[in-house]
Structure 1
C-alpha cells in the first residue's frame, strides 16, 4: 500500500518525464563494472588510481581536471539562458531560484538575478550532463554500476550587490537527503568557467566526511539568506578550509557529509557550475529521517506542496522520502530499491 502511494505521488510530482534523444540511461558501454567490495568511501573497480582512491578516502573529495568539454558546457549554458528568458518550455518540476537581495535587479537581460535552477531532471538537454559517459565512469567508483541521478542543479552565482548574499554557508548535503548509505552517494560539481576566490569558488573542510550530520539552520546574516541555504549552526570559521580553484571543465566529486560552502562573488560576472548528486540504485529510502533533518524536511515539503497545488493536488501527507523518490532518475545500469 505504501509503495503504491509513493508511486502515485511520484507521478504527480514528476510530471511527464523525458529522455535525452540518442542516449540510453542504461548504456553500459563506457563504464566499467564494479568487481570488488567497497573499501570505505570508494569502490575497487579499476576506475580510480590507488593514489586517487586514497586521497578521496582521506579527504572526502577528488578533482578530475578537464573532465567535461567546453563545447558541452556551452550547450548547458545556452539551455539555462533560454529557460530564464522563457524561450524554452519549462517543466513543472523545474525550480528557478533568485537571490533574496537582488530579486528585482537584472545584471544580465533574461537572467533576472537567478542564483540557480534546480530539478532539471525533466529538461533533456540538461540531463545530458548526468548521462555523460566520462562523468559516469568516475561516479561508478563511488556508487557502483547502478546509478540514480537524485538532485540536479545549475548554479549561477551572481555578482554580489554588497550584501554578501551570494555566499553559501558551510553545510553538508546529506542534511537534505533521506537515502542511505552515505558512502554510496556522491556529488559531481563541474566548473562551467574558471572559478577562483574572487568569484566565490567552493570551500571545503578536508576529512569532514568522516563525521555525522550536524545541526543546520539559517545563519543570521544582515543581507539575508537565500531559500534553503541552511548552514551548520555554531560553525567556527577558524577550522582549516581549502579553496578549490578550478578551470573550465574541471569536476570535483565529493561525499555528502563533506562540509563545504562558497564565498562571495566579488566580480562583475556570473559564476556558473553544473552539478548532480548521484546514488547507487541499490541504496534505500529511510522510513524515518534523523532528527537534525526535520527543518530541511519541513521546508522541502512546503515547496513540494506549492508545486502540487498549482496542479490542483493537495495530498494529506508528504514526506521527504516522497519528494526525493519523485526526483530520482535511473541514468545507468539496472533498477534497484531506489527506483
Structure 2
C-alpha cells in the first residue's frame, strides 16, 4: 500500500486500499455504523426537554470538556484520523450542531471550504470528522458535497446575498459550476464522514418537525504550521472572528492565538513552534 503515490492519506492508519483510493479521488469517505453515539441532552444546562433543545443550535470549542472531548479521543476514531493526519494529531475545532425545526433558511450553511477558517497547513494533513447523531437526510438539512473539489483551487468566501445565514457562515459563489456533481449524504445515526478541508460542501435548512443533530470536529497533524493570513482567503474570516472575540475576551492578541488555545492533543506528540 505504501508504494502507491498517495497524497491525501497516510500509511499510518486503518483504511483499506479501496478506502484510500476513494478518498484520494473524491475527497471524502463515509464509514457506516461507526458508533452508537447518544444524542446530547442530559448533563448540559439548557439542553433538557424539547424547548431547551431548540434554544441551542451549536456548542463549540469543547476541547476542555471531559465529556464532549471523548468524541475526539475515541479509541475507535484515532486509527481513522491517523489515515489522514499521521501519528501526531490535534483537535483544532470542535462543534456539536443542532438544527431545530422552524429555523428557516438561517439554519443552512452555504457551500464553502473549511480551509477558509484555518490559518495553518498543509491542508492535506487536516480532516473533518462529521458524525450523525440523528438520521440525516435532504429534508432535515443533511450535508451536500461536491466530490473531487478537494483537488481544485481555494475560492474566495463571503456572506451570500440570497438570504439570511448565521454569523460566520460564509460561502462561495462559484459553487454553481459544480452543481451537476452535487451529492446529498443520506446518513443514518452513527454514520461518520471524513472529508478534506478543500472539499466544497454545505447543508440545507431543516424542513421537518424533528431535530437534526451532528458532531463535527476538525483534526490536524501536530506538525502543521501557522501561516500568515494577510491578503489570503482566511483574512475575511479572521476579521469577523476577531471583531467579536476581542469584545468578549479583551486579552486576545491575534487570530493565531485563538487557534493555539483551541488546539488539543489527541494522539502522539506535540512540537514546539508548530500547531
TM-score (norm 1): 0.75
Task: After TM superposition, give the deviation of residue 338 of structure 1 in Å.
Answer: 3.2
Q: State the distance in 1 between where 2:233 and 2:119 align.
A: 12
1:196-250 superposed Cα distances (whole Å, 9 cap, x missing partner): 111111000000001122011111233x211111000343173420000111111
Q: State the distance in 1 between where 2:226 and 2:185 align.
A: 31
Is the Cα–Cα contact under 8 Å of residues 38 and 44 in structure 1 kept in the other structure?
A: no
Q: State the distance in 2 between where 1:64 and 1:116 align.
A: 24
* Corresponding residue to 2:205 among 259, 264, 287: 264
1:158-214 superposed Cα distances (whole Å, 9 cap, x missing partner): 2134x4222110000000101100000000000001111111110000000011220
1:290–1:125 Cα change, 3 Å: farther
Q: State the distance in 2 between where 1:254 and 1:289 align.
A: 26
Give the ranges of 4+ consecutive aligned residues of structure 1 lying more than 6 Å apart after TM superposition. 35-38
Once the two structures are overlaid, the 10-residue window that deviates more, 296-305 or 185-194, is: 296-305
Q: State the distance in 1 between where 2:26 and 2:18 align.
A: 12
Residue in 2 that maps onto 1:30: none
Q: State the distance in 2 between where 1:37 and 1:143 align.
A: 17
Runs (5+) with no aligned partner, structure 2: none
Q: State the distance in 1 between where 2:182 and 2:242 align.
A: 32
Task: After TM superposition, give the deviation of residue 108 of structure 1 in Å.
Answer: 2.7
* Corresponding residue to 2:17 among 31, 35, 50: 50
CA RMSD for the aligned pairs? Answer: 2.2
Q: State the distance in 2 between where 1:166 and 1:250 align.
A: 22
Is the Cα–Cα contact under 8 Å of residues 168 and 262 in structure 1 kept in the other structure?
A: yes
Is the Cα–Cα contact under 8 Å of residues 119 and 226 in structure 2 kept in the other structure?
A: yes
Question: Is the partner of 1:291 in helix, strand or coil?
Answer: coil
Q: State the distance in 2 between where 1:205 and 1:66 align.
A: 23
Does residue 61 of structure 2 align to residue 119 of structure 1? yes
Q: State the distance in 1 between where 2:231 and 2:9 align.
A: 24
Task: After TM superposition, give the deviation of residue 308 of structure 1 in Å.
Answer: 0.9
Residue in 2 that maps onto 1:192: 133
* Corresponding residue to 1:84 among 46, 61, 64: 46
Question: Is the partner of 1:141 in helix, strand or coil?
Answer: helix
Mapping for residues 273-292 of structure 1, pairs under 5 Å: 273-289=214-230, 291-292=232-233
Mapping for residues 1-339 of structure 1, pairs under 5 Å: 39-45=6-12, 47-70=14-37, 73-74=38-39, 76-79=40-43, 82-85=44-47, 108-161=50-103, 163-222=104-163, 224-236=164-176, 238-289=179-230, 291-309=232-250, 313=251, 318-336=253-271, 337-339=273-275
Q: State the distance in 1 between where 2:230 and 2:11 align.
A: 30
Task: After TM superposition, give the deviation of residue 38 of structure 1 in Å.
Answer: 7.4
Task: After TM superposition, give the deviation of residue 157 of structure 1 in Å.
Answer: 1.1
Q: How many residues align?
A: 273
1:38–1:45 Cα change, 3 Å: farther
Q: State the distance in 2 between where 1:46 and 1:150 align.
A: 19
Is the Cα–Cα contact under 8 Å of residues 13 and 81 in structure 2 kept in the other structure?
A: no
Q: Which has the larger radius of gyration?
A: 1
1:41–1:249 Cα change, 3 Å: same
1:112–1:192 Cα change, 3 Å: closer
Question: Is the partner of 2:52 in helix, strand or coil?
Answer: coil
Question: Is the partner of 1:188 in helix, strand or coil?
Answer: strand
